[in-house]
Structure 1
Amino acid sequence: MLTQAEQRRTFAKAERPGDRHLLDRRLGAGELVMPVKGRYIRKPLWDSLSYGDRIAYRLRTICREHPDWVLSGVSAAAIHRYTSSMYLQRYVHIAVTDPHQTGKRGLVVAHYTPDLQVVVVDGIRVTSPEQTMFDCARTLDFPTAMSICTMGLRATGNPAASLQDYCAAQRRKRGLPRARFVAEHVDPMCTNGGEAVSLAVSLELGFAQPQCQRQFISPIDGGAIYADFTWTRDDGSLVVGELDGREKYVNPAMTGGDDVVAVTLREKDRETEINMLNIPVVRFQMVHVRNRTPFEQRLVAAQVPRPNLGKRTPFTGYVCTEY
């Protein structure tokens, strides 16, 4: 059973009481893991999986038991690989075309989707990329919606205008103003979800929309250097914002195989080159962004323009209950 499940990239399920007893015994011995009640996987395999793959295993297992289901919202976003955040996956979100089937039943939330657009991704039926981004934009909180839509646009290679056009064509949908607000401000130039969240939080704090991944020319060797965020102050001068995430220092895909010291020194060299252009750099971390106050203090001290302080948005007072 375990081998067959691994070939399907799903969890194993005991069909007979005797099998359940054997699996539970191996679970108690530490050989197996039970990510979902009554569903098992070998511990070495589970430990080797990324967060995105762990989510996919869980959803693939559920959809194999319910082959007529179509995943939507954050569940579809996980299969599309627009997010790998485990905390978003408390519930399984599905789309239904019958309004009488909507509602929450245990860990399953059914959403009425009359204009359902279905695609198959890695063997799983999910809503289309555009519909998935739209549903996330209108139902999630602003930072999470911005992160998913940013990665969705990057994955599809589409510009923000494509999402804007899709949202503009929708009528009488719950949360439509929120979706249009996300589409208006999302920037696929953000290279990862952390940058997208930082952008969203800065906008919620009333700061001006920055230019993402602006290119500068190095005064040392004439090469191209890129800044995460660039704002133009009221006096016309520039200020650069740089997000220091742990991943850029430890993820081999981002470090180019270099160690932490080499990556850190390269970052310092890049900051020096920007400073030599007479452009100050304000650095911040995700802990600052999540806590907001340290992030706000840094941007205020850097004299980042704040034209929207106190202005209401479609997300003002909105409480997300999707996860």
Structure 2
Amino acid sequence: MSELPRLILAREHIQQGLTPKELVKRCRAGGLVRVRHGVYVDGEAWRALQPWEQYRIRVSAAAETFTARTVFARHSAASVWGVPTIGQRHPVHALTLQSRGGRSRAGVRRHYADPDGLKVFRREGLLVTGRVRTVLDLAAFTPFAQAIVPLDHVLKPDAAHGLPALSKEILLAGVDGNYAAAAARRIRTAVEFADPRSGSPGESYSRGLMCVAGFQPPELQHEIRDGSGLVGYADYYWKNARLVGEFDGVEKYLKPEYLQGRTASQAVVDEKEREDRIRAAGLRVVRWVWADLMEPARLEQKLAAFGVPRRRARSAAWP
């Protein structure tokens, strides 16, 4: 995540050299954006941010308006830890330690948490639930396909944030005593399905949607070779259908770690040559993009049209 723009607080308008009327005027002109009551950011900087970066700004803005000590959780804690999630319009999530619950208002949703055994971390100047609790909460309270994204992410080292991988054993050890039986079942199912071989949030979400739609699980990062040597590693591979599945996220053509010194146009050319070699090896290729994931029926229709096999019912097994 790039460096986020500085927050401009209305309560510090004198230090900022801005009167309340000037703040309103600049907002109307687009020079400032009101993130939350009393909290603003530079308009140009805000519009240059990705949706998940804007959400991270909203979490910080909420923290600036609270007077009581606040622990952020779920999507909000994930944004602080750098753990990817699905969706762009989440409220800010915070904990309340009062058993009667807390008030959810002004874009902030509060959730009760038993203070006994609750581990709280200070990160980037905010109090947040730990990575384990954060991804378990997401697995318990978000749809299955969405829950796979943060789980896949924490199962491998996070070099960008200097964080080690978490094991499935560590994750499952945090379930007992912290969740109701139904939530615990959802968590264990998602953790069992999670896989550190997933290459990106889009790949993780795709795999979760495939499972929900009833498709047979593909092999991940399948090695493909031809007469000239290694072609590459397929995001997904269905052996019986001789089909390669590829998720085309924007990262492949923009982020330095993917480009490896190439220009975006060269990356497109290289990807086309790679696909030609895959097809020449006798394999078919089906591709999809984020737009297909935002309307899961489109992904399901595309995979079905290419003959991706469905899971066989257990009752159909024959010795």
Report the TM range for the smaller structure's normalisation.
Answer: 0.7 to 0.9
Partner of 2:55: 55
Range with bigger deviation, 64-73 or 22-31: 22-31
Partner of 1:140: 142
Structure 1 residues 204 and 126 mapped into 2: Cα distance closer, same or farther (>3 Å)? same
Task: After superposition, give the CA deviation of every residue in 1:30-59 in whole Å (9 maximum; x if it has no partner).
Answer: 322212233222223334444443333321
- The answer on whether the counterparts of 1:73 and 1:135 sit within 8 Å (CA) in structure 2 is yes
Structure 1 residues 143 and 72 mapped into 2: Cα distance closer, same or farther (>3 Å)? same
- The answer on whether the counterparts of 2:55 and 2:88 sit within 8 Å (CA) in structure 1 is no
Partner of 2:161: none
Instruction: Return the match for 1:10 from 7, 10, 30.
Output: 7
- Residue 104 of structure 1 aligns to a residue whose secondary structure is coil
- The answer on whether the counterparts of 1:239 and 1:279 sit within 8 Å (CA) in structure 2 is yes
Is structure 2 residue 86 aligned with structure 1 residue 82?
A: no
Structure 1: unaligned runs, 5 residues or longer = 1-5, 312-323
Partner of 1:177: 185
**C-alpha displacement of 1:208:** 1.5
Task: After superposition, give the CA deviation of every residue in 1:291-317 in whole Å (9 maximum; x if it has no partner).
Answer: 333322332343322115799xxxxxx
TM-score normalized by structure 1? 0.80
Task: After superposition, give the CA deviation of every residue in 1:114-149 in whole Å (9 maximum; x if it has no partner).
Answer: 142211221111000000000001101122211222
- Residue 133 of structure 1 aligns to a residue whose secondary structure is helix
TM-score normalized by structure 2? 0.81
- For 1:107 and 1:9, the matched residues in 2 are separated by 21
Amino acid at match of 1:130: V
Partner of 1:320: none
Q: Which has the higher contact order (CA 8 A, sep 6+)?
A: 1
Amino acid at match of 2:213: L
Task: After superposition, give the CA deviation of every residue in 1:254-301 in whole Å (9 maximum; x if it has no partner).
Answer: 333534432222112222333343332222223233333332233234
- The answer on whether the counterparts of 2:86 and 2:146 sit within 8 Å (CA) in structure 1 is no
Structure 1 residues 300 and 101 mapped into 2: Cα distance closer, same or farther (>3 Å)? closer
Amino acid at match of 1:191: G
Amino acid at match of 1:14: R
- The answer on whether the counterparts of 1:219 and 1:273 sit within 8 Å (CA) in structure 2 is no
- The answer on whether the counterparts of 2:211 and 2:217 sit within 8 Å (CA) in structure 1 is yes
Structure 2: unaligned runs, 5 residues or longer = 159-163
Amino acid at match of 1:150: D
Instruction: Return the match for 1:264 from 258, 268, 282.
Output: 268
Structure 1 residues 267 and 160 mapped into 2: Cα distance closer, same or farther (>3 Å)? farther
- For 2:45 and 2:298, the matched residues in 1 are separated by 39
**C-alpha displacement of 1:252:** 4.5
Task: After superposition, give the CA deviation of every residue in 1:224-267 in whole Å (9 maximum; x if it has no partner).
Answer: 6111112232xxx6421111223423444433353443222211
- For 1:229 and 1:258, the matched residues in 2 are separated by 24
User: How many equivalent pairs are there?
Assistant: 301
Amino acid at match of 1:58: R
Partner of 2:230: 223
